[in-house]
Amino acid sequence: MALLFVVLTGFAALTIDAGIGYDTSRNDQDVADAAALAASYWIYQNGSATGSLTGAYTAAEGVANLDCINPAGPCTNAFSLTVYSTYPSSSAVATITSGGCTGSCTLPSSSDLYVKAAVTDTSQKYLAGPMSGGDNAFPVLANAVAEVDNPSGGTGGGGGTQQLQCGGHAAVVCVLGPNGMTVAGSNFNINSPYSFYINGNLTCNGGGGNMNTSPAKTYIEGSLIKQGSCGLNWNPQSANPVTGSALLTDPLASMTLPTTTATSGCSSTATYSTSTTLNPGVYGSLTLSGMNQTVTLNSGTYIFCGSGLSISGASVTVASATGGVVLYFECQSGGAPAACSTSGQTGAGISVSSSSSLTWNLQPETSASWENVLIIFDRHNTGTILFTSAAQNVTGSGTGAIYAADATYTMQASSGNFTLGAPIIVGSLDFASSSGNFTFPTTIVQVPSGGSTTTSPGGLVH
């Protein structure tokens, strides 16, 4: 009986000490998570300043002290920060402890970074240690890694605007809908120095191609699905996609949309096959055909509420006059422009099937509530934006963003190049090309300050 009592007492001691150890470990993991996030926020917000990364340690230390909970007495944990240019990686950019910073400690101004908080602590053996005559404590280790996406991206631009943010990332593509993004065909390249952020899945069912050729990442809320002979690659490897990202919300949900008091116009049709100048107003169906023509849009608001805008001519140039324009695509009721049904409704759209090339020199307005947004769809318009041809080259100096939160944007070409001047925010996105290049802007357009907020520099990745 005495021997059994000793055995039971030993199990009880192990259980109690293990529980205390687990509690310490769980708390230390919370401390590591908080410290890594605090450091990433500090680097993100101060990336354009001058100074040292030691400020990130101070920020992390303050949060760690607040999160440290040890009912048995004062916290004994200590932590260090390690900054990486890629993760996982054994090559650190800088290491920061309470004694200072070593390595490249100057604040970065661009590119993705990763900051790792490593916490070391001890847990007491209140029963097992004294009973066994061994050590009365054992080490507890915890670490967390947070991403810092494009430092200084959270500071915004001038004139009351901010950089386009999707899920806390400076982004060039935001796919909001559950249908996600699809790439098909072969031998295509999508080049962008800024992030893609995708709700739903990214599905590849074509023969090959490359995504971002820069450190920018592709963030996927769902999964990366490769079907058939898909050879989709990211270059460099550090740009490999991140799956399981947080669900993306509409970054321009609070942006004011254009309005009109027009009571008709949606049934109108207009076709131009020679060079012409157009004025703002309501358009049901507008078709630009012919060859080698230039269409100039005087500054103002163009509302489409019938079948929308169609460009089918060869070598068409579309340009805007000084002051810029906005193209707004919505639904209709009784021949008058009307909001689309909140359950989703197919309204006016855009179709470009130019047989040779399209030069897109439209500029957005810079003083309206939708400043720097060139194309706007009603938020519930499930229509389409379609660029397709046998030999398509879309180029130009147009810089306005495309906002179509519930629409599908499709880009197809058997050969050619698409050079887009601004970010896109769409419901779903389809790329298809047997031989083509899709190039996105090297700078991020500034969007209305009411429609984009800084939510996170990137979040925990480990």
> pLDDT (tens digit, 9 = 90+) per residue, 75-86?
556 778 888 777
Q: How far is CA 9 from the centre of its chain?
A: 56
In this prediction, residues 405-430 reach a mean pLDDT of 80
Kind and range of the H or E run holding 374: strand 373-377
% pLDDT > 90, the chain: 25
* Residue of higher predicted confidence among 431 and 70: 431
pLDDT of residue 128: 47
Nearest to 103 by CA among 53, 58, 140, 60: 53
Q: Residues for the chain: how many in total?
A: 462
In this prediction, residues 104-119 reach a mean pLDDT of 73
Three-state DSSP at 145 gives: strand
C-beta of residue 41 within 8 angstroms of C-beta of residue 90 = no
**pLDDT tops 50 at residue 156:** no
Which of 215-224, 350-359, 450-459: highest mean pLDDT?
Answer: 215-224
User: Per mean pLDDT, which range of 15-24, 55-64, 202-211, 316-325 is the poorest?
Assistant: 15-24
pLDDT of residue 403: 93
User: Per mean pLDDT, which range of 146-150, 267-271, 292-296 is the poorest?
Assistant: 146-150
pLDDT of residue 167: 67
Three-state DSSP at 236 gives: coil
**pLDDT tops 90 at residue 22:** no
Separation of alpha carbons 335 and 338, rounded Å? 9
* Residue of higher predicted confidence among 149 and 56: 56
User: Per mean pLDDT, which range of 47-56, 141-150, 282-291, 305-314 is the poorest?
Assistant: 47-56
Separation of alpha carbons 243 and 162, rounded Å? 26
pLDDT of residue 10: 46
Q: How far is CA 174 from the centre of its chain?
A: 6
Q: Copy the structure tokens of residue 78.
A: 């200590």
**pLDDT tops 50 at residue 451:** no
User: Per mean pLDDT, which range of 121-125, 155-159, 235-239 is the poorest?
Assistant: 155-159
Separation of alpha carbons 101 and 103, rounded Å? 7
* Residue of higher predicted confidence among 297 and 195: 297
* Residue of higher predicted confidence among 447 and 35: 35
Instruction: Identify any residues that bridge with 285 across adjacent strands, giving them in sequence order.
Output: 269, 308
Label the pairing between strands 300-311 and 349-352. parallel
Query: What contacts 264, CB < 8 A, 6 or more positions away?
Result: 282, 335, 336
User: Per mean pLDDT, which range of 95-104, 339-348, 431-440 is the poorest?
Assistant: 431-440
Kindly report the number of other CB atoms within 10 A of residue 295's CB atom: 21
C-beta of residue 403 within 8 angstroms of C-beta of residue 164 = no
pLDDT of residue 139: 64
Count helices and strands (H / E) in the chain.
3, 35
pLDDT of residue 442: 56
**pLDDT tops 80 at residue 343:** yes
pTM of the model as a whole: 0.67
